[in-house]
Protein backbone atom coordinates (compact mmCIF):
# COMPACT_ATOMS: atom_id res chain seq x y z
CA UNK A 1 0.00 0.00 0.00
CA UNK A 2 1.51 3.31 -1.03
CA UNK A 3 2.20 5.83 1.72
CA UNK A 4 -0.60 8.26 0.71
CA UNK A 5 -3.21 5.51 0.58
CA UNK A 6 -1.90 4.07 3.84
CA UNK A 7 -2.22 7.49 5.48
CA UNK A 8 -5.76 7.96 4.18
CA UNK A 9 -6.73 4.48 5.33
CA UNK A 10 -5.40 5.23 8.82
CA UNK A 11 -7.38 8.50 8.82
CA UNK A 12 -10.54 6.59 7.81
CA UNK A 13 -9.86 3.99 10.52
CA UNK A 14 -9.55 6.70 13.18
CA UNK A 15 -12.70 8.47 11.91
CA UNK A 16 -14.70 5.24 12.00
CA UNK A 17 -13.47 4.54 15.54
CA UNK A 18 -14.45 8.04 16.68
CA UNK A 19 -17.93 7.64 15.17
CA UNK A 20 -18.19 4.22 16.79
CA UNK A 21 -17.16 5.71 20.13
CA UNK A 22 -19.94 8.28 19.88
CA UNK A 23 -22.46 5.51 19.29
CA UNK A 24 -21.09 3.53 22.25
CA UNK A 25 -21.48 6.63 24.42
CA UNK A 26 -25.04 7.12 23.21
CA UNK A 27 -25.80 3.44 23.86
CA UNK A 28 -24.67 4.12 27.43
CA UNK A 29 -27.01 7.14 27.51
CA UNK A 30 -24.10 9.58 27.67
CA UNK A 31 -25.16 12.61 25.66
CA UNK A 32 -22.08 14.01 24.02
CA UNK A 33 -21.05 16.38 22.52
CA UNK A 34 -24.36 18.06 23.45
CA UNK A 35 -25.52 17.22 26.96
CA UNK A 36 -29.21 17.99 26.41
CA UNK A 37 -30.92 14.98 24.77
CA UNK A 38 -33.44 17.03 22.76
CA UNK A 39 -30.74 19.29 21.36
CA UNK A 40 -28.52 16.30 20.59
CA UNK A 41 -31.32 14.58 18.66
CA UNK A 42 -31.89 17.72 16.61
CA UNK A 43 -28.17 17.83 15.78
CA UNK A 44 -27.58 14.17 14.93
CA UNK A 45 -30.92 12.82 13.68
CA UNK A 46 -32.99 15.60 12.13
CA UNK A 47 -36.30 13.76 12.00
CA UNK A 48 -39.36 15.87 12.86
CA UNK A 49 -41.21 15.24 16.12
CA UNK A 50 -38.35 13.17 17.56
CA UNK A 51 -37.02 14.34 20.90
CA UNK A 52 -35.32 11.20 22.21
CA UNK A 53 -32.18 9.41 21.12
CA UNK A 54 -32.61 5.91 19.65
CA UNK A 55 -32.76 3.01 22.11
CA UNK A 56 -29.44 1.73 23.47
CA UNK A 57 -29.65 -1.48 21.40
CA UNK A 58 -29.80 0.50 18.14
CA UNK A 59 -26.86 2.70 19.13
CA UNK A 60 -24.92 -0.39 20.21
CA UNK A 61 -25.63 -2.15 16.91
CA UNK A 62 -24.23 0.79 14.94
CA UNK A 63 -21.22 1.06 17.27
CA UNK A 64 -20.37 -2.64 16.87
CA UNK A 65 -20.90 -2.54 13.10
CA UNK A 66 -18.51 0.41 12.87
CA UNK A 67 -15.96 -1.46 15.01
CA UNK A 68 -16.16 -4.32 12.51
CA UNK A 69 -15.42 -1.88 9.68
CA UNK A 70 -12.50 -0.50 11.68
CA UNK A 71 -11.18 -4.02 12.22
CA UNK A 72 -11.37 -4.73 8.49
CA UNK A 73 -9.48 -1.51 7.79
CA UNK A 74 -6.86 -2.48 10.34
CA UNK A 75 -6.41 -5.87 8.64
CA UNK A 76 -6.01 -4.07 5.32
CA UNK A 77 -3.41 -1.73 6.80
CA UNK A 78 -1.42 -4.54 8.44
CA UNK A 79 -1.74 -7.08 5.63
CA UNK A 80 -2.48 -5.22 2.39
CA UNK A 81 -3.61 -7.38 -0.51
CA UNK A 82 -2.93 -10.56 1.44
CA UNK A 83 -6.44 -11.29 2.62
CA UNK A 84 -9.12 -11.51 -0.06
CA UNK A 85 -11.66 -12.23 2.68
CA UNK A 86 -11.66 -8.55 3.71
CA UNK A 87 -12.31 -7.21 0.20
CA UNK A 88 -16.02 -8.08 -0.03
CA UNK A 89 -17.05 -6.78 3.41
CA UNK A 90 -14.95 -3.65 2.86
CA UNK A 91 -16.63 -3.16 -0.50
CA UNK A 92 -20.03 -3.41 1.20
CA UNK A 93 -19.01 -0.99 3.96
CA UNK A 94 -17.62 1.46 1.42
CA UNK A 95 -20.86 1.37 -0.56
CA UNK A 96 -22.89 1.98 2.60
CA UNK A 97 -20.78 5.04 3.49
CA UNK A 98 -20.89 6.41 -0.06
CA UNK A 99 -24.64 5.77 -0.23
CA UNK A 100 -25.20 7.61 3.06
CA UNK A 101 -23.07 10.48 1.80
CA UNK A 102 -24.95 10.77 -1.48
CA UNK A 103 -28.39 10.53 0.15
CA UNK A 104 -27.52 13.46 2.40
CA UNK A 105 -27.50 15.76 -0.63
CA UNK A 106 -30.89 14.69 -2.02
CA UNK A 107 -34.17 16.57 -1.71
CA UNK A 108 -35.71 13.33 -0.44
CA UNK A 109 -33.38 13.31 2.58
CA UNK A 110 -33.98 17.03 3.13
CA UNK A 111 -37.71 16.35 3.36
CA UNK A 112 -37.24 13.34 5.69
CA UNK A 113 -34.76 15.15 7.99
CA UNK A 114 -35.71 18.84 7.94
CA UNK A 115 -34.78 19.70 11.53
CA UNK A 116 -32.04 22.22 12.22
CA UNK A 117 -29.20 22.10 13.00
CA UNK A 118 -29.08 18.58 11.53
CA UNK A 119 -29.93 19.72 8.01
CA UNK A 120 -27.06 22.23 7.99
CA UNK A 121 -24.60 19.87 9.72
CA UNK A 122 -25.48 17.02 7.38
CA UNK A 123 -24.81 19.05 4.25
CA UNK A 124 -21.68 20.65 5.63
CA UNK A 125 -20.07 17.77 7.58
CA UNK A 126 -21.86 14.42 7.91
CA UNK A 127 -22.46 13.66 4.23
CA UNK A 128 -19.04 14.85 2.99
CA UNK A 129 -17.33 12.85 5.76
CA UNK A 130 -19.34 9.75 4.78
CA UNK A 131 -18.36 10.25 1.13
CA UNK A 132 -14.68 10.60 2.02
CA UNK A 133 -14.66 7.57 4.33
CA UNK A 134 -16.58 5.55 1.75
CA UNK A 135 -14.18 6.47 -1.04
CA UNK A 136 -11.18 5.50 1.08
CA UNK A 137 -12.78 2.20 2.08
CA UNK A 138 -13.70 1.42 -1.53
CA UNK A 139 -10.15 2.17 -2.61
CA UNK A 140 -8.79 -0.14 0.08
CA UNK A 141 -11.24 -2.87 -0.94
CA UNK A 142 -10.42 -2.62 -4.62
CA UNK A 143 -6.64 -2.23 -4.33
Return d(Cα 36, Cα 32) in angstroms, integer. Answer: 9
pLDDT surpasses 90 at 21: yes
Average pLDDT along the chain: 95
- The closest alpha carbon to 14, from 58, 70, 69, 76, belongs to 70
- The closest alpha carbon to 24, from 68, 58, 73, belongs to 58
Return the sign of the alpha-carbon dihedral for residues 137, 104, 66, 35.
positive
pLDDT of residue 116: 96
What is the model's pTM? 0.94
Confidence of residue 1 (pLDDT cuts 50, 70, 90): low
Amino acid sequence: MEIMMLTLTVVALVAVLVISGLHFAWAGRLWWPITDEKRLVRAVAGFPNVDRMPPPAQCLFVAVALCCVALLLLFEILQPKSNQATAIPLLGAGLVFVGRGVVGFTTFWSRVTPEQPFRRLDRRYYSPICLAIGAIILNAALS
